[in-house]
Structures are given as structure tokens and as C-alpha cells.
Structure 1
Amino acid sequence: MSPLLKIRSERDQMSAIERRIADYILENAHLLRDYSSQQLASALGISQSSVVKFSQKLGFKGYPDLKYSVGEAIARSNGNEEQHGAPSAADDPHGALAESLWRQKARAEEETRLINPPDRIDAIADAVAGAGRVFVIGLDEDGVAARAFALKLSLLGILTVHHFDPVLMATSVSAANPGDVLLAFSEHGNQVALSQIARQFHERKGKVVSVTRHTANPLRAHAELSLLVSAHDERAHIEPLLYQTALQHLLDLIFVLLCEDGDRMARLDANRERIQLMLEP
């Protein structure tokens, strides 16, 4: 496993100091080769021994071993992009770009899968399957994925309440019952309105599932279960694409798990047939 993947996948189990080191390395991986353990410690305002212990906890002999592994992973990644991109560029002007983007999406999906262990995915699927009602909300761009997933749940015969307006959702949540589930979509998890809705949902003894980036954020702090997305790129126009791809794959996995129930699958087929009849001239 890539050292950067390993750091991201284990970040949640780290101490506060370890998370600071992890975040710094993830954000400055390409500069790590120029840092000694003492320089890295000074940049973070921590002891050199903390950096060494962090490296050893990840399974490396020490910081130089970690630094070398990170540099090797970055070089390998760059080499793969050049190797795969060059032939395509000769035949197709968009080939290299498309292949590079595809590999980045695949990497984001792999990272996202690693930080969402199977038992967590199963727990979320079970909570949705056993809920009396599933409340789904996402604001702005998060509303696109939320709406699409709410539709899929409805097609399976799961009673779904979807809103993109926090005021309307707050009104609906006031009638929630114990055992109901709230799926709250927020890439960065900072919307105050969603945290307020989550608190209100807890008061109704419901279960909150947050869908956010793999970061500490207010919405995630209010959730019993969390779906986490890892998608990173320095380019502002690329990073959202990676996030959306990784998130969609994660939601598709839960949908497929829900489809394993024979009754739900039968309802899905019946609902699709009704929709098709409505669309026919």
C-alpha cells in the first residue's frame, strides 16, 4: 500500500499530534524529500521524537525510511502517468488527459474504499434497510448526489423523505420516529443548518449518517455513522470531480447491498416497469 494511502486510511485512529504530522505530509508530500525529521518537527512545533515515533507507528524503521517511501511513491505515480499518457497523445489529443483523469479517479475510489471498512458499510446499509423512514438532505452541489440516492432508495420501496431546503427538512424531522435514519450530505460538513437538523433528529431518537470528506467536521461529530470520501488534487477544477466519482462509487456499493434482498429487488423491478409505462407514448 502507498504510504500516503496508509496515512489517510489510519488518520482517524491517530492522536492529535499524529494527525498534525499526517496532514502536513499529505499536503506537502512533494516537498518531503527536502525536510529532515528535525526540520519537519520545527515546522509543526513538535519534538523530533514525535516524528520518529509517527514513522515507526506506520511500520517504517524511521523517518528516512518513510521519506524515501513517499518519494518513491510520488515518482512511481508520475512515471506511470508519463508511460501511459504518451502513446495515447500520439493517436488522440485527448487520450493522455482522459487516461490521467481516469487513474486519478481510480486512486480516489481506492483511498475512499480503504477508509470505509466493510463493517461500517454493512452497518449503514442495515440502518437504511431497517429504518421506518429515511430522511435525505444535501445543500447546493451536495444536493445532486443526495437527490439521486433518495430516488434509488424510493425505487427499492424504502420510504424516503428528501429535501434540499433545510427549513422544510427541519419541519419534516419534527415528525421523525425512533429507528428512522437521516442521511446528511455535505462535502466539508460545515453547514450550521445541517448540524442543527442532526441535533433535532437525535432528539427524536433517530440515527444520523453523515456523508462528508475524510476530515474532522461539525456534521460528522453529530453522526453515529459516517461515510467518508478521500479525493485530493492541487487543481481546484479537478478535485471536485474526484470527490463526486469516489462518492458515487460508495453510494452505488450501498445500493447494491440493499438490492440483495429479494423483496426489495422485486419492488425495484416493479417500479421501473411502472416508470417505463409512464414514459412510453
Structure 2
Amino acid sequence: MAPLTRIAAERERMSAIERRIADFICDNAHLLRDYSSQQLANALGISQSSVVKFSQKFGYRGYPDLKFSIGMAVARHSGDSPPLDEDASMAAPTDAAQAALLELVQLRQAAQQQTQLTNPLSTLQQVVRLLDQAPRVYVHGLGDDGIYARDLAMRLSLQGILAIHHADAILMLADLSTVRSGDVLIVLSEFGKMQPLVHISRQFQALGGQVISITRHTANPLRASTATALAVCANADAPHMAQLLYRSSLQFLLDSLFVLLCHTNPERQRQLAVNLERVAQLIDA
């Protein structure tokens, strides 16, 4: 359901009034056909113009077009679902544990779809070109992000890219003396608020390098300091769910870059195969 997914993906960047509209639409999509723009405005206690502007923000001429698009998406989605019968009801969650696991699966799928929509193919291809052509790629992340930064650096190295991983901000800052024009720095930071990372990003760009930030889909200092920013969508009310969704969506985003690198440059695939064979020989020795 693309319209609803797009709205959910942009929620964290909306104003308070826009969030109220978004939440109402997402929660009541199947009833939206019964609401005019004025009725929706009255239900939320806002102006009709706010509803119209919200619709136009997503590329629609007005609220009727948005309502029609959502209605069509809901109809298609409903058409894909088989009617509920006794056999289907037997497959429904029977206890709280099963319901929790089902919720995790559904939220993970939604978060990855939102992440995909938030990072269009053109943006990912731009990032892939930067990585493919860079003399050196520095990868930096702290805490949990450091785990994914290390894995990314290893995957880039297996593809024949000179990747340098730093898990220490001081060492990364010291290594700025080796930066040359055309080098790329990938900075992973969930919330993008750590000032050392913002400082490193600005210093790297001042030396002629290009920085790619990967953060949550929120307004944050690190994202604002970089010309190329990728965003991870992971919306959930429960903190433990939000953390899991961030990790799975981040991995999905990094996997997408890895696949596109192999697809864009056949030499990357050849080099990957050679290096994987070397690793296999080392393991079997």
C-alpha cells in the first residue's frame, strides 16, 4: 500500500499537525472514503487548508486525489487477502507469544519497505558510484553502529574496494591526515547527534572528501552536515521493537548497497568470488 507507506515513512519529519493527519489517515484508511476534507479537518480540529496542503505535500493535486489513491491501495490489498475460513482461523495467533512474533514480522516488513521508499534507487545508485570510484573508503561507527560499520568495511574489501574501518573516533580523527580528494567516508550513527562524528564529517569534507551519513529518518546534526544522507526507517511504539527494526532496516539498506555494487560493476563480482575462494581455502586448511 504505497501511499500509506510513504506517509508513514515521512512521519518523523512532519510537523505536529501533519502527524495528526498522518496518524488519522493510517489508522482509518478503510474509512477515508466517507470523509471529505472538511469533515477530516473537523474531526482533527484543524483547518481544511491544512488537509489540502498535506495532500499536496505528497504530490497530489488535492485531498480527493489522495483519498482516491489510498482507496485503490486498500482495495488492492483487500483483494490479495483470501477470505477468512475455519482453516485460516486455525492459523491465527493463539496466544500472546505468537502474536508478538507475528507483530515483529509485520513491523519488520513495513520498516524495510519504508526504508526502501525513503532511499530511492537514484540516491542509492549515486552512493554506489561514489564507492565504486573512490580511491579509499573510510567506514566509521560507534557502539552498536560500529558492528555494522565493521561488517560493511569487510564486504567492501571483499569486492576489491580499499576500505578502512575505524571504531575509535580519535583514531579516525588522526587518520584525517591521509585523506585525499575523492575519498569517501561512511558514517553510521543511529540518532546522528554525537558531536565527535559531526566534527569528523565536517573536517573530512573540508579536506576534499565526500561523506555519506546513515542515520534514523529524523532531523539530526550529522545528517544536516552531509550532502549525501541515507535514512533508516524504524517506527514502533515499544522501545525494544524500535531497536530491532532499526537493526534489520539498517542491514537491509547496507545489503542493498552491496547488491547494487555487484550489479553495477561486474569486476566487483569477479573480485568477490576470488576473495571468497581465498577465504574458503583458509578455512579448509
Distance 1:132 1:41 in 2: 56
User: Residues 21 and 44 of structure 2 are in contact (CA less than 8 Å); yes or no, is this contact kept in structure 1?
Assistant: no
| Aligned position for 2:198 | 195
Larger mean Cα displacement after TM superposition, 263-272 or 178-187: 263-272
Q: Describe how 1:17-166 pairs up with structure 2 within 5 A.
A: 19-26=15-22, 30=27, 37=41, 40=44, 49-55=49-55, 57-58=57-58, 59=60, 62=63, 87-88=90-91, 95-166=98-169
Q: CA offsets per residue over residues 118-139 of structure 1, 9 Å max, x none?
A: 1100000010011011010111
Larger mean Cα displacement after TM superposition, 47-56 or 209-218: 47-56
| Aligned position for 1:242 | 245
**Residue identity opposite 1:184 in structure 2:** V
**Residue identity opposite 2:6 in structure 1:** K
User: Residues 181 and 208 of structure 1 are in contact (CA less than 8 Å); yes or no, is this contact kept in structure 2?
Assistant: yes
**Residue identity opposite 2:281 in structure 1:** L
Please report the TM-score for the alignment, with normalisation by the length of structure 2.
Answer: 0.78
Where structure 2 has 5 or more consecutive residues not aligned to the other structure, the ranges are 32-38
Distance 1:263 1:248 in 2: 24
Instruction: Give the superposition deviation at 1:173.
Output: 2.0
* Residues 1:267 and 2:263 are matched in the alignment: no
| Aligned position for 1:6 | 6
Distance 1:125 1:135 in 2: 14
**Residue identity opposite 2:119 in structure 1:** N
What's the secondary structure of 1:162's corresponding residue?
A: strand
* Residues 1:222 and 2:218 are matched in the alignment: no
Alpha-carbon spacing, 1:36–1:262, altered in 2? closer, same or farther (3 Å): closer
| Aligned position for 1:258 | 261
Instruction: Give the superposition deviation at 1:249.
Output: 1.3
Instruction: Give the superposition deviation at 1:142.
Output: 1.1
Distance 2:176 2:166 in 1: 11
Alpha-carbon spacing, 1:143–1:24, altered in 2? closer, same or farther (3 Å): farther
Alpha-carbon spacing, 1:31–1:167, altered in 2? closer, same or farther (3 Å): farther
Distance 1:108 1:90 in 2: 22
Distance 2:41 2:97 in 1: 42
Instruction: Give the superposition deviation at 1:220.
Output: 0.7
What percentage of residue pairs aligned between the two structures are identical? 38
* Residues 1:183 and 2:179 are matched in the alignment: no
User: Residues 212 and 220 of structure 1 are in contact (CA less than 8 Å); yes or no, is this contact kept in structure 2?
Assistant: yes
What's the secondary structure of 2:143's corresponding residue?
A: coil
Q: CA offsets per residue over residues 191-214 of structure 1, 9 Å max, x none?
A: 111100000101111111010111
Distance 1:9 1:158 in 2: 32
Distance 2:120 2:90 in 1: 37
Instruction: Give the superposition deviation at 1:277.
Output: 2.2
Please report the TM-score for the alignment, with normalisation by the length of structure 1.
Answer: 0.79
Alpha-carbon spacing, 1:235–1:27, altered in 2? closer, same or farther (3 Å): farther
**Residue identity opposite 1:267 in structure 2:** Q
What's the secondary structure of 1:114's corresponding residue?
A: helix
Instruction: Give the superposition deviation at 1:179.
Output: 0.5
Instruction: Give the superposition deviation at 1:90.
Output: 6.7
Instruction: Give the superposition deviation at 1:112.
Output: 0.8
Tell me how many residue pairs correspond in the alignment.
267
What's the secondary structure of 1:174's corresponding residue?
A: helix
Where structure 1 has 5 or more consecutive residues not aligned to the other structure, the ranges are none
Q: CA offsets per residue over residues 144-173 of structure 1, 9 Å max, x none?
A: 211111110011111111111111111112
Alpha-carbon spacing, 1:141–1:222, altered in 2? closer, same or farther (3 Å): same
What's the secondary structure of 1:135's corresponding residue?
A: strand
What's the secondary structure of 2:106's corresponding residue?
A: helix
